[in-house]
Structure 1
Amino acid sequence: MSAFEVIGGKRLRGSITPQGAKNEALQIISAVLLTAEKVTINNVPDILDVTRLIELLQLLNVKVERLSKNTYTFQADDVNPDYFGTSDFRDKSSKMRGSVMVAGPMLARFKKAYIPRPGGDKIGRRRLDTHIIGFEKLGAKFEYDEKLNEFVLKAPELKGTYMLLDEPSVTGTANIVMAAVMAKGTTTIYHAACEPYLQQLCKMLNSMGARIKGVGSNLLEIEGVEKLHGTEHTMLPDMIEVGSFIGLAAMTQSEITIKNAGIKHLGIIPDKFQQLGIKMDFRGDDIHIPQQDLYEVQRYFDGSTVSFSDHPWPGLTPDLLSIILVTAIHAKGSVLIHQKMFESRLFFVDKLIDMGAQIILCDPHRAVVLGLERKQQLRGVVMSSPDIRAGVSLLFTALSARGKSIIQNIEQIHRGYQDIEDRLRGLGADIKTLH
């Protein structure tokens, strides 16, 4: 198994461009199953999770052509739905969470879908109730096969209806939207997710002939159509990468420019890092982070300690809490990190404590970070990446530490970050891959 060897303590300098959005890619690529016509997708991130999903589509007989490193065409005019019932599908889909996203398109177009237990990060339970209940309300029937550990959904006809989601699940909303665009009649989804990636999916579907209103709000109205056609779509820059690079610049006392950051789609992400005391300049669509020897956490107006917690959009995405936590290690001041959604996502802090960070893990959801104020340096250690976001957080922490660190299980990092070691080396980072 491969590992990163990192020599930390060096200041970085230069420009870096975020990849295409991982979380958008899993939805957009699944949506090509909704039409027999050709779909072209630009700015596709070259990462393991996306590659696995594309391979899954190819096994379904979807014609895939790679025009360049980040541009593909897809044509689903000869799909083999029976592949979903095979052990090979169950084995491959168990290695990635994105496999669940093909259920909505398959149900809409082929009236049958399978949802095996999804794989991916070890960050705690991710329930599928929102997906299944939404499909049921559209008229699908499901059975759960305990032996095979998968749901089988069938729907001779999907019918539009009103539904109030139990949670604004991004993947749940996306899956239900993809099923509803070809349902008979009108579907109204209240308490829908409204993340930029969901907006992008709706934008793409409308360009294919769907009729979706309320995009960007938590109330979607979808008038079903009989058929969708081909289109061309370009993905947004990955907001998680943008936030990660802001944190990296601050932690390593570096001057970094994030090119083509998609600033208007970042929501409150820049504000949250500014709350940590990090300075940044906005130059067109670029973000420039100047070198700062020390950054000080802002307090609330009443003088109380700042807390960072995840919320549905337009609140702070949970995928950035790990980065905010490690960025706070070097700050002046203290913060409370409250990870509400996933009960195991903070468990990587034991590795940070081994490096010399002052962190109190209160429970599976909350951690208090006592900033070191640059009065002492972190030290390099041997550690393992438990999930995508924690993995890159550990990598960036190693770059800010003194001495050598070894990060194992880097496949987790490669699932979400394209050519990360090469791009960091372009900034001057001392990082190499051990095989």
Structure 2
Amino acid sequence: MARLVILGGGESGVGTAILGLKKGYGIFVSDKGEIKEKYKKVLEHYGIDWEEKAHTEAKILNADVVMKSPGIPDTVPLVLLLKEKGIPVISEIEFAARFTDARIIGITGSNGKTTTTMLTNHILKEGGLSVGMAGNIGDSFAKMVAEKEYGNYVLEISSFQLDGIVDFKPHVAIITNITPDHLDRYDYKFENYVASKFRITENQESDDYLIYDADDEVIVNWLAKHPVKSILMPFSIEKEMGQGAFLKNGEIVLKINNETIKMKESTLALEGKHNVKNTMASSLAAKLVGIRKQTIRECVANFQGAEHRLEKVLKIQHVQYINDSKATNVNATYFALDSMSAPTVWIVGGVDKGNNYKELMPLVREKVKAIICLGSDNSKIVDAFGNVVDLLVETYAMEEAVKVAYKIAERGDTVLLSPACASFDLFKNYEDRGNQFKEAIKNL
């Protein structure tokens, strides 16, 4: 019996354990931290051997294959030791993909991948396809493959998951954009991070597709130097495309194999230029797997969007409150501010991943009337914008931030939570931050 060792007892680890068990592997799950109670119950239900708060090398180094959770860097001594011994260390998407013949749409990128994944899944489902949505979102891919066979999977895939692939090959790959993020995992070299994202195409063949943002210089320059085998499907809001998607006279135009689909930008459910791009990517993917024009048009008009991503919470006294807690980097906040059409009271701050706020300066000058800092250390934000806006207030709790916003905002304004930072100084995670924001608004 082949031995599968799983490092990390979270969603992807436990999903892989269930699939491995069904496929006849002997399984051992090892987590250096604590395993959550709900996952322990699942492991015990299946009679799977596990340990927490330690890695017992003797029980790990006899593996035939190791699945490593995306949170564990490739540089930890145990992983280096496994590789030295020639034991393959792979990611969950690589393991799970070996046990399904389903068609896969794989979506990666620094920002927009959750929205694009959810919208693509929505269109395929409404179009009558058998489809499962997994990866970085919801259930693990491996657990889905173990429990239900779908004809199609829409997978949100992080660069960490792509680092652990060997043969994984999506029929349709989407790269939404590439901006500096997680550079601590890539020796602080941006090109290593870019190469990691492009691994999504490395096993694609000439009848597969790569959908990408043709306005993103990083992607375009990389493709010029590293040609891929797949058929290119670019999208752009700046220029016309012979094949792919573009914006013309207020319409999104899709051109695929001599077929043209047009959709008015004004009918899209999601607001903002970045969401025009996410919509283009999802629509191209849906068309490539055979969804009808009419279904695509209807779906992009009625889609609800992702929670904590430019989520309209409430309108109070003609002031719109928007929760964009998922904006944990400057690039995501740039998109949010760019899509604001009303004077904006901006709530920003948290744990800074080496942010450069300069690129937000033109948008802040144009759109932001007041800034409310929300973090345990707001000094960088104060230094960056103190002289740019008329009013800047420092707060240290969500309830306080929302009360201040309520006082400042006038009829017709927007209050936007778009922190540009991680959340773990004052909150458990970005969901907790977004939920506290929504709760504080309801208590006004």
Q: Which has the higher contact order (CA 8 A, sep 6+)?
A: 1
TM-score (normalised: structure 1): 0.29
For normalisation by structure 2, the TM-score amounts to 0.29
Higher-helix-fraction structure: 2
